[in-house]
């Protein structure tokens, strides 16, 4: 036997031993997991295909950094770019030494029109929120696959047409549609992935799901560097979505959804394909599926959304976790934009800040396993808060502000990955969807406020880092009232949610 074969046999033995231990330790294993395995080649392929969608999600969410970068300007009859506004100036000229045309120079988003730049990004984040809600509902009613494909097509169409906008109103309206589609791809792709993975690996895959977003953020400066005009930049980050149209032939429907919709035969075909791909027997799949259909039909009706606030302990926990989601939306997108305004090379600044997100996300996997959700979230929030507060007191320099800003963003990469896990484990089953949905909504509110705070640096340099420093520290303090859910049985009823 060759060394390679010996190594493979050892790995196979470890996997078999691991699965045996899992089967022994669980009295009631999910029938679908029994049929196709917790994870295998089939699930990994689907994850790879779906995870690619996170690249344009990052490009579009963070694109405002290069669509509206800082530009020097002056009245056309002046020779120096002093960024001064004049009441009697009819035409401004811009410093094009770094960028060609941006939405700022295209539509004069300066002086009394400067707030329109922030409003554009706020409306975009509102679109993400609307997309999460609309496509979340559509995916429950029509399946995960078709709404996902519709969102991908709308993302491509809206993204490309945005590049040909002739005024700010058209640009902002099309970006809103683009955001709705982007939010749709986010919610449908995440749900589809989680429904295919066994419980044991769901936490890890849920965190790894964030890494393609980080890589998309990291590659964005390349688009900005080589494409200095806003419309060619917008076109370049939109066209790759053409690739996802091929998913019509590649992506299956969620077998879990098919079973809840009564389409058992369709689910059976997909599961048999998955089992064969994973090297598992297909003889007992039908009996497993029948058991799952019975379980699905007997699931109790969900409690009202208001149940989250009906009992004192669950109410306090809901407020605490929602505020921490607000922290993540507010600080992640706010600090990212703030770094884009730090003096120095905007391309390297953004690339450096994005590069540290990947190790942060990977570290969060181990931190959550070793320290638990509570300590991990408190610690990462404190890292962000303290690093941002230090910006207000250290001597002004590009290096110090960029370094501290990157440390703050690194902390947020851990917090964001953690709140996803925390919310899913904290809320009782009967209100889990409502709780996670509310939390995600609050995060979008934070990201809508962030652009206005990030650009306060033009008014007073210490205001943005002060805000981005205080808010996560408040979030860390609120974690005190949260239980640590690591390794605990998920609460099913409202009564268990009060324990």
Domains of the chain plus CATH, in order, are 30-299 (1.20.1250.20), 302-499 (1.20.1250.20)
In the three-class reduction of DSSP (H, G, I as helix; E, B as strand; rest coil), residue 216 is classed as: helix
CB 382, CB 459: distance < 8 Å = no
Tens digits of pLDDT across the chain (499 residues):
444 444 434 434 434 444 444 444 444 557 788 888 889 999 999 999 999 999 999 999 999 999 999 888 888 777 666 678 877 788 888 999 999 999 999 999 998 898 999 899 999 999 999 998 888 888 878 888 999 999 999 999 999 999 999 999 999 999 999 999 999 998 888 888 888 888 778 778 888 888 999 999 999 999 999 999 999 999 999 999 999 999 999 999 988 888 878 888 898 899 989 989 988 887 777 777 776 666 555 554 556 668 888 888 999 999 999 999 999 999 999 998 888 777 778 999 899 889 988 899 889 988 988 999 999 999 999 999 999 999 988 877 678 888 899 999 999 999 998 998 888 788 886 777 678 878 888 998 999 999 889 888 777 778 899 999 999 999 999 999 999 888 777 676 778 777 7
CB atoms within 10 A of CB 249: 6
Strand 92-94 with 73-75, pairing: antiparallel
How buried is residue 241: exposed, middle or buried, by Cβ count under 10 Å (0-12/13-18/19+)? Answer: buried
Please give the span between the terminal C-alpha atoms of the chain, in angstroms, as a whole number.
Answer: 55
Q: At what angle do helices 168-196 and 54-62 cross, to 10 degrees?
A: 150
Two structure tokens written together for 376: 């991990």
In the three-class reduction of DSSP (H, G, I as helix; E, B as strand; rest coil), residue 244 is classed as: helix
Distance CA 77, CA 386 (A): 45
Nearest residue to 53 via CA among 219, 176, 212: 212
| pLDDT at residue 294, rounded to an integer | 62
Q: What's the gap between Cα 331 and its chain centre?
A: 13
Stated pTM of the model: 0.84
Handedness of CA 82, 85, 88, 91 (dihedral sign): positive
**DSSP string computed for 82-109:** -----TT---EEE--SS-S--HHHHHT-
> Given the structure tokens 């029109």, which residue do they identify?
113
Q: What's the gap between Cα 281 and its chain centre?
A: 36
How buried is residue 496: exposed, middle or buried, by Cβ count under 10 Å (0-12/13-18/19+)? Answer: middle
The CA-atom distances, in angstroms, between 254 and each of 9, 300, 416 are 32, 21, 26
CB 145, CB 253: distance < 8 Å = yes
**DSSP H or E stretch at residue 188:** helix 168-196
Residue-level length of the chain: 499
């Amino acid at each position: 036997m060759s060394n390679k074969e010996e190594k493979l046999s050892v790995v196979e033995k470890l996997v078999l031993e691991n699965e045996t231990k899992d089967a022994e330790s669980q009295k009631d294993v999910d029938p679908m997991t029994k049929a196709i395995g917790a994870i295998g080649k089939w699930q990994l392929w689907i994850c790879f295909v779906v995870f690619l969608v996170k690249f344009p999600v990052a490009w579009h969410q963070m694109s405002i950094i290069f669509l509206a970068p800082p530009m020097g300007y002056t009245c056309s009859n002046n020779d120096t770019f002093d960024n001064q506004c004049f009441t009697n100036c009819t035409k401004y000229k811009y410093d094009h030494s770094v960028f060609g045309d941006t939405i700022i120079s295209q539509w004069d988003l300066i002086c009394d029109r400067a707030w329109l730049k922030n409003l554009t990004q706020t409306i975009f984040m509102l679109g993400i929120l609307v997309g999460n809600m609309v496509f979340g509902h559509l995916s429950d009613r029509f399946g995960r696959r078709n709404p996902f494909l519709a969102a991908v097509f709308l993302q491509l169409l809206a993204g490309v047409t945005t590049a040909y906008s002739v005024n700010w109103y058209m640009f902002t309206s099309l970006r809103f549609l683009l955001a709705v589609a982007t939010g749709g791809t986010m919610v449908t792709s995440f749900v589809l992935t989680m429904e295919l993975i066994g419980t044991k690996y769901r936490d890890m895959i849920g965190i790894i799901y964030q890494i393609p977003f980080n890589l998309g953020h990291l590659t964005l400066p390349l688009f900005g560097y080589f494409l200095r005009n806003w419309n060619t930049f917008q076109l370049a980050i939109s066209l790759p979505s053409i690739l996802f149209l091929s998913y019509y032939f590649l992506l299956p429907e969620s077998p879990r959804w098919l079973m809840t919709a009564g389409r058992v035969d369709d689910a059976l075909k997909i599961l048999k394909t998955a089992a064969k791909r994973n090297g598992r027997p297909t003889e007992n799949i039908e009996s497993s599926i029948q058991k799952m259909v019975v379980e699905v039909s007997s699931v109790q009706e969900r409690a009202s959304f208001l149940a989250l606030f009906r009992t004192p302990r669950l109410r306090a926990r809901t407020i605490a976790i929602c505020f921490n989601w607000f922290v993540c939306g507010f600080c992640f997108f706010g600090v990212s934009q703030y770094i884009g305004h730090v003096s120095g090379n905007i391309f390297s600044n953004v690339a450096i800040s994005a590069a540290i997100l990947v190790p942060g996300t990977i570290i969060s996997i181990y931190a959550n396993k070793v320290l638990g959700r509570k300590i991990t979230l408190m610690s990462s929030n404190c890292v962000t808060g303290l690093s941002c507060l230090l910006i207000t007191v250290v001597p002004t320099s590009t290096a110090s502000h960029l370094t501290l800003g990157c440390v703050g963003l690194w902390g947020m990469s851990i917090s964001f990955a953690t709140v996803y896990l925390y919310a899913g484990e904290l809320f009782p089953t009967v209100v889990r969807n409502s709780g996670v949905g509310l939390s995600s909504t609050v995060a979008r509110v934070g990201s809508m406020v962030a652009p206005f705070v990030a650009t306060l640096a033009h008014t007073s340099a210490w205001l943005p880092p002060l805000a981005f420093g205080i808010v996560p520290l408040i979030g860390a303090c609120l974690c005190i009232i949260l239980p640590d859910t690591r390794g605990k049985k998920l609460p099913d009823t409202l009564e268990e949610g009060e324990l």
